[in-house]
Amino acid sequence: MPKVVAVRFREGGKAYHFDPGVLDVSIRDLVIVETSKGVEIGTVVEDVIDLPEEHLHAPLKSVLRLADEKDININTENKRLEKEAFPVCVEKIASRGLEMNLVDVEYSFDGSKIVFYFTAEGRIDFRELVRDLASVFRMRIELRQIGVRDEAKMIGGLGICGRELCCCSFLSEFMPVSIKMAKEQNLSMNPAKISGACGRLLCCLKYEQNAYEDAHCRVPRQGTVVQTNEGSGIVVSSNLLRETVQVRLDRPGETDLQTFRVADITFNKPCQKNQRS
């Protein structure tokens, strides 16, 4: 199995696998790597591991060397130039009257290209803007339109939980999230409570979804007829996390509501064929 090391180019960005060769690299080391876009500098985020070839998505590029003082100085200078380029681009956007919001600027390590990331409601004709920027910076200009989730990832911030946004702290790839997940987790359908800083559904709805799906397979739904040690009855409500149900018992001459553990009742499983072994 080939040895690989995970390298990340942007904080909170996706980690890519590279061939470390004979180099001794450790977590948090800055390394110079060969990419499809040229030579770049990145940070090692995982120890060297053996990875089966079938898990590799493309031929491995190489780690060329550990970053030296000169490389680190170049990277620091690029960060400074990125900050200077930001207001210049904002001014050019305003002068052209374009309805776009500049999010971030990125210099390539070799200084041959600048990438401007922006958001917009629709398609933007930025050909004239590219010419304006090229006349100022005298290098290759690239504009990339990104989505609102990517914008939140780049800008950062705090979630409604009070912690740093998952997307800019550890979540390297966005996962599909649906309103069905919020419904299955019995959450309020208030958009303010189930939406993140980006305005889209909270990424964390995905984290516990498998557990809720598993619980739905074991906990009877409302209206299910169940057998208890107090007699038969109909489920009125359920608590998926506690795995308890409130049952309206069918007794001669009286009706009674009692709470039972799912393990203490019998009923037809709602999705036996989907149950995990």
Tokens 């009674």 locate to 256
Query: Same domain for 198 and 137?
Result: no
Number of domains in the chain: 4
Share of the chain above pLDDT 70, in %: 94
Indicate which CATH number applies to the domain containing 223.
2.30.30.30
**Which pLDDT does position 240 carry in this prediction?**
84
Residue 83 lies in a domain: yes
Indicate which CATH number applies to the domain containing 122.
3.30.300
Residue range of the domain that includes 122: 72-146
Residue 20 lies in a domain: yes
Span 72-98, average pLDDT: 93
Query: Same domain for 127 and 140?
Result: yes
Domain boundary pick from 125, 146, 167? 146
* Confidence tier at 274 by pLDDT (50, 70, 90): very low
Taking the C-alpha atoms of residue 277 and residue 273, their distance in angstroms, rounded to an integer, is 10
Reduced to 3 DSSP states, what percent helix, strand and coil does the chain have, rounded to the nearest 5?
30, 30, 40
Domain boundary pick from 168, 183, 205? 205
Taking the C-alpha atoms of residue 207 and residue 203, their distance in angstroms, rounded to an integer, is 8
pTM of the model: 0.73
28: its two tokens: 């948090």
Query: Same domain for 62 and 77?
Result: no
The backbone torsions φ and ψ at residue 117, rounded to the nearest 5 degrees and listed phi first, read -100, 135
Q: Rounded to an integer, what is the distance from CA 123 to the centroid of its chain?
A: 24
* Confidence tier at 255 by pLDDT (50, 70, 90): low
Residue 211 lies in a domain: no
Taking the C-alpha atoms of residue 148 and residue 133, their distance in angstroms, rounded to an integer, is 24
**Which pLDDT does position 270 carry in this prediction?**
61
* Confidence tier at 275 by pLDDT (50, 70, 90): very low
Residues facing residue 28 across a β-bridge: none
* Confidence tier at 272 by pLDDT (50, 70, 90): low
Mean pLDDT of the chain: 85
Query: Same domain for 194 and 235?
Result: no
Tokens 């998926």 locate to 240
124: its two tokens: 């933007």
**Residues 6+ positions from 100 with CB-CB distance below 8 Å:** 93, 118, 119, 120, 124, 126, 145
* Confidence tier at 253 by pLDDT (50, 70, 90): low
Query: Same domain for 163 and 137?
Result: no
Taking the C-alpha atoms of residue 223 and residue 246, their distance in angstroms, rounded to an integer, is 11
Residue 10 lies in a domain: yes
Residue 234 lies in a domain: yes
Q: For residue 77, give the 3-state DSSP assignment.
A: helix
Residue 176 lies in a domain: yes
Residue 269 lies in a domain: yes
207: its two tokens: 């984290």
Residue 210 lies in a domain: no
Strand 113-119, strand 140-145: pairing: parallel
How many C-beta atoms surround the C-beta of residue 220 within 10 A? Answer: 21
Query: Same domain for 135 and 76?
Result: yes
Is residue 34 predicted with pLDDT exceeding 90?
no
Query: Same domain for 35 and 76?
Result: no
Domain boundary pick from 24, 39, 67? 67
204: its two tokens: 């964390």
